[in-house]
Amino acid sequence: MNIIRKAEGHEVVVLRDRVNIKVASEQSPFGMSIVVVDVPPNSGTPCVAHAKEEEVYFILSGELFMHTPTERHTLRAGDMVHLPPGTPHGYRNPGDHDAQFLAWTVGGPMDKFFTNMAERVRALPDDLPQMVAVLEEFGVTRVA
């Protein structure tokens, strides 16, 4: 049994989002990682798909606008989204306050993806080549 306290974890900043890695994939026999993500207003991600990872987002506070090329959903505290491998998805915080969600991923080292993004991608568009390299390295593709 592993107890992870609220203040524990390894925090990285991916562009504007704060990602607190609570369980690293190397700690799990199935490559599961668990993170808490704080999303400032108007921050978010483009639509992407993961080659092998299955993800779940559980909204803790605020709201997230989840999108795919064909779907749009507003999620609020207590809502959850399940993303099988290969499912296009992106999010944005449309609110005036931070949104927070718990995410767990099984099947790949998404915690290492976040760490690499934080280390190698500081500002766009200047670091776009590094961002593309990290996406490719971790089997994440942008979806139009």
pLDDT at 144 over 90: no
Q: Does residue 4 fall inside a structural domain?
A: no
Average pLDDT of 44-70?
Answer: 96
Q: What pLDDT, on the 0 to 100 scale, is given for residue 67?
A: 95
**53 is written with which tokens?**
């990872």
Do the domain assignments include residue 133? yes
Residue 77 lies in a domain: yes
Q: What's the whole-model pTM score?
A: 0.94
* Predicted pLDDT at 45: 93
Q: For residue 120, give its domain range.
A: 10-142
Query: Which tokens in the block code for residue 54?
Result: 């299955």
Query: Mean pLDDT across the stretch 122-135?
Result: 92
Report whether pLDDT(48) > 90.
yes
**What is the pLDDT at residue 99?**
98
Does position 34 have pLDDT exceeding 90, yes or no? yes
pLDDT at residue 107 is higher than 90: yes
In a domain, 2, yes or no: no
Q: Tell me the CATH number at 65.
A: 2.60.120.10
Checking if the pLDDT of 121 tops 90, the result is yes
Tell whether 64 is covered by a domain. Answer: yes
The answer to whether residue 1 is domain-embedded is no
Examine the pLDDT at 68 and tell me if it is beyond 90. Answer: yes
Span 72-80, average pLDDT: 97
End-to-end CA distance of the chain: 42
Number of domains in the chain: 1
> 16 and 44 in contact (C-beta within 8 Å)?
no
Residue 5 lies in a domain: no
Does any domain span residue 3? no
Is residue 109 over pLDDT 90? yes
